[in-house]
Copies of this chain bind each other. A is one copy, B any other.
Amino acid sequence: MCRFLAYCGEPVYLETLVCTPCHSLIEQSMHASEAKTETNGDGFGVGWYSERTEPGRYCEIRPAWSDENLLSICSHVRSHLFFAHVRAATGTAVSRANCHPFKAGRFLFMHNGQVGDWTRLRRRIEAMIPDELYPARTGTTDSEAIFLAALGQGMEQDSVRAFRSVLAQIEREMEATGATAPLRFTATWTDGERVWAVRWASDGKPPSLYWRLGDSGLIVVSEPVDAQRDAWTPIPTGGGLVARLGSRPETFTFH
């Protein structure tokens, strides 16, 4: 699977969460604790918001743990809102186009989970991407397809409803094709102002997801980046969280 991290609050250097903590995302690229796979070495990506409308992005196919560029960028880029992801490929190629966070306009999206029987369902789910967004389909992951499909279903207006709708449609396709492997969707996304995080799976076993209000802002993670486990609140199966910059996060029910 994968491990990811999202931050939203006072501007901090990316390294504060991506590199420095004892169980930082870089550490999780080699030694994740709560993931199905301990190693998440199939590429990585960071995305961050500056004063421009669209976010910046740096992704690479080598493991996060050995990339000097990542360390340097994280120690020099300061942002009020950033995403970071380390990947464990589940069948699709290791390529930049398959690295999270995915970006479209001012949106970023990261996913931890899977569309079961993806090979069989891929075509039907890609068909959910509207024509005008299809050029943005540059990789082959289920994650990117879900993201583009949600954009096509009104993500700009109501992103939670858009993802709900896409997931329901995928479940119908799974039923139609007799796909039995589960659909798992632990994900986080942002429009540059708000951050959403949800945790859901068709078999009730979504990947882990936690959040914490730190000194400077909200942190959403696949697993805690430090040793203070009590400081992190798990998002329950079927739960979600939304936070606007500067406001307390609110929880909601997803699906």
Contacts and interface: CB of A to CB of B under 8 A. Distances in A.
Interface stretch (A93-101, A181-189, A197-205, A228-236): A93-101
Chain A, interface SS category = mixed
A68 B39 contact: no
B62 A69 contact: no
A242 to B, nearest CB: 25
Contact of A123 (B60, B62, B73, B131): B131
Interface of A: 30, 39, 41-42, 48, 50-52, 55-63, 66, 68-69, 72-73, 75-78, 89, 93-97, 119, 122-123, 131, 134-135, 137-138, 140
B68 A56 contact: no
B76 A56 contact: yes
B66 A94 contact: yes
B30 A39 contact: yes
Contacts of A39: 30, 39, 41
B95 A122 contact: no
Contact of A57 (B66, B72, B95): B72
Given A95-B95, A123-B131, A52 B76 contact: yes
A76 B73 CA distance: 11
Contact of A134 (B57, B122, B131): B122
